[in-house]
Structures are given as structure tokens and as C-alpha cells.
Amino acid sequence: MQVIFETERLVIRRYVKADEENFFRLNSDPEVMRYIRAPKSRSACNVFLLQMIAFYEQHPLMGRWAMLLKTTGEFIGSFAIIPVENRPEIQLGYALFKEYWGRGYATELVQAGLQYAFDVMKLPGIVAITESANQASQKVLLKCGFTQRAPIVEQGRELCFFDCQNPYVVETQRLLIFPLNQSQLSLYLEAANKLEKALDLKPSGRSVAPQVKESVLRHTLPAIRAAAGNHYLFITFWLVVYKPTRAIVAELGFKGPPDHTGTVEIGYGTMPSMQGRGIMSEAVGGMLQWAARQPDIQYVLAETHRTNTASIRVVQKNGFEPLPSKGDMLWWRFKTRDARPYNYEG
């Protein structure tokens, strides 16, 4: 049975066919289903369960999952991260047997679910939808960092709509850009599509140069382990994923946390097959937007070789100013207060 994530008291795992009875008990209970959907018959529950299990094959990081007590293995409810029907968003939801209401499980679950959605799934944001009368769930969502937005109308009913944005994922017109944590960076080094499988990305067959692997093992990973707070973000690799294909198309990152002047240096590179498509200009533009939202970053530096016209175009298109330079290396500086949305013209 595949575990999705754990909390202090709970285990969230994929459903299996042996869960039929518990799944029926949950989904046929009128009180549990009051704000979710109409209670289902046993036969309808069995069909629904098989559909959910099949869903895992197409969407290995998403789905509806069983919720168990860690101490006893007892089934107490269900948790879901699934697409919103007829809308582009991904939503979070849960259901608990009523004898477990009021014990803090919902808050514990939503907090851990957000961490999974943001750190493992790399979602730029997630939503939650509740009936207007379901004030208990609304309090949980607000406590966990969701923001209530304008209500939506679904099948003639006005519903409360909440969202929560991932502070560590950058989304542009064509791209998703996100940092790798320590375990993900280790998978990156192993290649053989291990990281791509873990993040549900398109297999790339990429390899890692021996000198890069050695440098990451000797310097980058130890620095990430020693980093305080979110400083690992300025040490690790950030991947650039092309949204239409979910393929890794570029990499970028910073060369250390902000210094005493609020300055960071950025470095970047595009996969050879994706060069000449404006990928890096768009990616750097997105990262500049992210940097502008960090209160301790005032300037972003970039270094280019005098003959690297492609890299020079990237910084010029994003508003970097040239600094006095000697020799073959040119230096550029961007003031984060000048950050503006990057407009890709395809």
C-alpha cells in the first residue's frame, strides 16, 4: 500500500480494493456527506472506488486517499487533491467519520496536505470549495493559510471559494519554475528519470556530468543541509518545466543567499533542444518577479561572457543594466524595485 504522506498522528495512503467496506461506510453516511455529495449506495461506492484506483495510473501524485490513525491503523476518513470539475484549478478536500470531528485532525491534515501539494506536487496554488453553511471547514482553511475569495456558483448553488498560493513556485505563461529540496536534488543526481518519476514529469533521459555531480555532492548538498530557514532556496537548483509537455527544459539558480547589500547572483542554462525559443528570457523574468517579492533582495547580478550573445539577450530583455567590466566577462545588475511581469510574445 503506497503511503502518500504522514502527519504526527495520521497516515495518508492510496486506496486499495480491500478498502471497500470502509469506503462504503464513509460515503454512505448522510452526516459525513452533508457538505460533500449525496450519500452513495454500496454498488455505487464500489464503482467509485475502482475509478479512483484507476485514476492513480494517470495521475500518480493526485487522487483520493485513505486516512488512517498512525497508532492503530484504523480507517477514519478520506483526503483528496484532485482537479476541480469544469475549472482549471486543483482542489483539496477531506471527510472524517463524525466520531473524529473536533480533535484537530482536519487542521493537521490540511497543513500536511498543503506541504505535500507545494513541495512534492510543485503546484503553484491550490483551492478549496465549501458549502456556505460549513463554517467548521472554513475555519480550518483560514487557520491553515487559505484566503477566502469571491464565491462561485455551481449547479445553481453559491459556494465559498478559498485559495492558497505556493510561495516557492513561479508560474509564467509557458513555464513552471521550482526549487529542489535535498532529497529531490539527490534524485536529480541519480538521473535515470528518477526525479522525473517522483515529480510526475516527462521522462527526459538526461544525464549529469561527472564534474557537476561531484560538485553537488561535495558542496551543494552539505550547504543545503546546513542552510538556515529558506536559505536553501539560494543554494539548490531550480528546474524550469514547460507546461504543455511537463518536460524539464532549463535550469537556473542563485549562487548563495543575499549578502549585506541585498544582492544575489543568478545563473542559468537551457537544454540544447529548447534553445532559441525564449525559454530562458521568460524563466529569468519569472525569477526576477519572485526575487522582487523577497524583502531581503535588492539587486540581482548576472555574469555573461562577452561572446555569449544568447545570454546577453536574456539579461537585456529583462532590464538588467550593464556594470563596468574588464576582460571577457560582462557583469549586469537588476534592481528588484524595477521588476515587471515578463511578456512572452510567441
User: Of 85, 102, 115, 82, which is closest to residue 7 (Cα–Cα)?
Assistant: 115
Would you give per-residue pLDDT tens digits along the chain (346 residues)?
Answer: 799 999 999 999 999 999 999 999 999 999 999 999 999 999 999 999 999 999 999 999 999 999 999 999 999 999 999 999 989 999 999 999 999 999 999 999 999 999 999 999 999 999 999 999 999 999 999 999 999 999 999 888 899 999 999 999 999 999 999 999 999 999 999 989 999 999 999 998 888 899 999 999 999 999 999 998 889 999 999 999 999 999 999 999 999 999 999 999 999 999 988 899 999 999 999 999 999 999 999 999 999 999 999 999 999 999 999 999 889 999 999 999 877 777 766 5
Q: What does the block give as the cell for 24?
A: 462504503
Give the pLDDT confidence score for residue 56 in this predicted structure: 97
Give the pLDDT confidence score for residue 228 in this predicted structure: 87
Give the pLDDT confidence score for residue 345 in this predicted structure: 63
Find the largest Cα–Cα distance for the chain: 76
Residue that is written with C-alpha cell 521588476 in the block: 339
User: Of 313, 250, 257, 312, which is closest to residue 283 (Cα–Cα)?
Assistant: 250
- State the distance between the two ends of the chain, measured CA to CA, in whole angstroms: 45
Match domain 170-338 to its CATH number in 3.40.630.30, 3.20.20.80, 3.10.105.10, 3.30.1370.10. Answer: 3.40.630.30
Alpha-carbon torsion 127, 133, 134, 135, what sign? positive
Domain ranges of the chain: 3-165, 170-338
Q: Given this structure, which CATH class describes domain 3-165?
A: alpha beta
